[in-house]
Structure 1
Amino acid sequence: MSADFLKGRGAQKNVHNRFFENSHEVLDEYLNFCEAEGEEADKNKTNYIEVFPKTFVNKVDSPDVGMGFSANPYQGCEHGCVYCYARNSHEYWGYGAGLDFERNILFKRNAPQLLEEKITSKNWQGNTVIFSGNTDCYQPLERKLEITRKCLEVMLKWKHPTGIITKNSLILRDLDILKEMAKLNIISVNISITSLSEDTRRLLEPRTASIKQRLKVVEVLSENNIPVRVMMAPIIPSLNSHEILPLVKKVAELGANDVGYTIVRLNGQIAEIFKDWAYKTIPDRAERILNQIAECHGGNLNDSNWGRRMKGEGTISEQVKNTMAIAKKRYLKDMRIEPLDTSHFLQLKNPQMKLF
């Protein structure tokens, strides 16, 4: 590992914001002054900034992400997963996709109110809303602000179909709400587990819940009849690709209903961030991993083509696909997650529906 490795972060540097290339010049005179004076210029602290959006539920137009609507109480994510596709979205807020994404967290305290306004609006038909379509709704700040919990209270109040994607065991704090939603079949949870190795987790996802805690989440949710899918996302060749069979076996034993996966793709600024991270943290394997990622995407580190970008192409991608199919056939045969029920919400919103 490189001597200048920044402990506790995924990205190891800031990268420029592509939207500012022609209109802003970033000067490092202050940082240079601090360095010359022997002072610490960067304390590596996280900043929390409240924002005031006018809407909260977002329509997802991408046809290959498996969701129609998403809701994100937070922008930026302190978990610091180095591969995270959402890093690029931080540029729309005026920040960089590197360290800025992990250290400048925007939060939406008015999210529950906006959510209720949306799902009770005249034309809303009860489409499933996925929390964390972009950044994790159970990242560390949620422990204090409880924005996600308040949103779940709204969803339960209206008996509305809800999905959650997270890699934080903080979700178990809200088990009381999730159990009530499960009785109505209006909740499903996706737990992201990319590896069974704590060493790999610490490098890839430095501020996430431990693997042990995430496995516990799968077990507890299953015990309480809450549908849970594990997402092995992303699979990175030569880093965690060898873990497909043991990971699927483990989560199946704990009660997971399904396992999904994606092949890593380094879109936008993430390619630069990931390469810098790889050479600093795993220099002996960096070239091989980067070359194999490129092999999955026609010689590039990224592929933006819908339908192909998530699973990749070529020999390595085919091996991953086949291995996952074998694992699911062996350990998850006949397991599935039932579609969520919209009838409770529609009847509550329009009592006259009971007449039909």
Structure 2
Amino acid sequence: MQYNNIEMFKLLVEYSIEKGIKLIIDENDIEKMISEKYYLCKLRNISEINSKFIELINFCKNKNIIEVIFSENSYFLKKFNEINENKRIENENRDYKILEIENEIKKIKFEKENKKEEKNENENELMKIELENERKAEEKIENENEIKIKELENERKAKEKIKKENELMKIELEEERKAKEKIEKENESMKKELEEERKAKEKIEKENESMKKELEEERKAKEKIKKENEIKKIELENERKAKEKIEKENEIKIRELENEKKAKEKIEKENELMKKELENERKAKEKIEKENELMKKELEKERKTREKIKKENEIKIKELENERKTKEKIENENELMKKELEEEKKEKEKKKRGKIRKEELYN
């Protein structure tokens, strides 16, 4: 009410009608909330309540849907009286409004029913989905059962196959047993033959042993002869080695003599080379001595030329000294001449001044 929200009030009225609850509006509470400036209340005065709101309350009060408790100076009562006074004038409007309100209430009910139906439809869809899932699960179980049945069938076939194989194996084993018995009989006959062969071999072995003894005696005789031959060979080998040793010693001595001869020849060659080198050194020394003598002569010449140049320089220095002295003398003479000229000039000026002074005095 404090927000003038008619739609909310209509829903509240509808809810009270559905549940059979009678709403109570206390005007005193509304005035108290406005006076205390309750934070949810946006009204500053009770007169700010929408007129349509008041008409709706009056309508619901007349229909015994709402009970209204009036205050002492009731604003609602005044408004209700005004509405009732204008009731006859506004019958059509009132009827229209009533119908409108009823239609709105019906619309609200219809919307609620639609919502319920939608909810039911959603629930039905969920149930359908669940049934579909159950059906799929049953199909899956059936498929699994079919697979298991197939597996069991395969196992049964495998068992039958194994049974047949076992029967075949039994037949084969029986045949093998018979074959073994046959082989055993053949082995017994072979054993007898082998026994006869063994006896014959023993006889042959005895003969071979006697032959071996004879061969052993012959071998021993041959070994004895062989040992004697080996001793002779060793003696001959020792003689040969001794001869080879003597020959090697002789060869070594010959080589040593040859080496000594070569060493002597080498020493002689080295001596000749040393002689040649000494001769070359002597010649080189002589050449160096000659060069040194030539250098000494050249140095002597240079020394003499230097002395000559020195003397000439001394003469030149003396000449320069004399020139310097003559220049100094000339300079002194020039200074004396300058002084004399200066004195002459002064005397001339003095004479000139005297003449000028005389002329002045004369004038």
TM-score, reference length from structure 1: 0.17
TM-score, reference length from structure 2: 0.17
Structure number having the greater helix percentage: 2
Bigger Rg, structure 1 or 2: 2
Structure number having the greater strand percentage: 1
